[in-house]
Structure 1
Amino acid sequence: MRAAFYDRQGFAKEVLAVGELPDPQPGAGEVRVRVVASGINPSDIKTRTGFGGKAMPFPRIVPHQDGAGVIDALRPGVPETRRRGLDLHGAMGPRVRNRGDPSCEMGGGVGGDDGEPRGAG
């Protein structure tokens, strides 16, 4: 998948890279989400810059805390009925992993073709 990511903290123009990463595969009890809308959360900037001494929680970070998409893969422990739902999560990549329980179904769907986000129902 093509995604934006960083391996060290600093200013965006100095540390953000865009490149190919392996598609994440969901683990037990997780879903994979094809992201169709994503936004920047202030916590993304704080983590990337190390604001307040915040360390990187992982060696590589695909940023964005806010977003929405369509569940496109399920693993054991997640009911098949979840496939019809949409998942609130986010990443600056086309696919992310998420535990099945924090995702939530959205009303009205999420734009994709027109890029217009729809609100949670």
Structure 2
Amino acid sequence: MKVLDTLIRVFVERDALDQTIRFYEDLYQEKCKARVFYEELNLELAMIARTVIIAGDAESRRLYESASATILVDSIQEAAVYLQQHGAVCLTEPKRTPGSWIMLAKHPDGLIAEYVQVVPV
């Protein structure tokens, strides 16, 4: 497993997403590079630089707000094995979403991170 990147996470209500995207585009002087709605999660995500904005109602965001970071990896299965072998706890099993595999894990130091493997659609 290789870690490809680590992203900070910003949580907003869905009606604040466009305004939040504009703020981070101005801050980083970069355009939004991805914007996806995950119907089964009732969440919309946008990525600007090393920031992922997660928009949805409070109930839809609840589980994901516990995570402090998004860690992009090349293999979610290898990440799960590595984490378990090194004292972390996988809080969710790897789950397929449109365009990715996702999993929440709690590190031995208590940090909760969402692991993501992007896959072609």
Q: Tell me if both proteins adopt one fold, taking TM over 0.5 as the criterion.
A: no
Q: Normalized per residue, which structure has more strand?
A: 2
Q: Which has the higher contact order (CA 8 A, sep 6+)?
A: 1
Q: Normalized per residue, which structure has more helix?
A: 2
Higher-Rg structure is 1
Q: TM-score, normalised by structure 2?
A: 0.29
